[in-house]
Amino acid sequence: MANTNSSAEVGAFFAGVLVGGLVGAAIALLMAPQSGVETRQQLGRASHDLRDRAHDTLEDARERAEATIADARRRAERIIEEARERAEHIIKEARGAAEQAARDAKSAVERAVPSSGEA
pLDDT in tens, 48-75: 888 888 888 889 889 999 999 999 999 9
Residue-wise burial string across 75-101, b where 16 or more C-beta atoms lie within 10 A, e elsewhere? eeeeeeeeeeeeeeeeeeeeeeeeeee
Query: Count of domains in the chain?
Result: 1
**% helix / strand / coil in the chain, to the nearest 5?**
95, 0, 5
Q: What is the pTM of this model?
A: 0.48
For 12-34, the pLDDT digits (tens) are 787 788 788 778 777 776 776 66
Domain limits at 93?
2-118
Say if CB 40 and CB 28 are below 8 A apart.
no
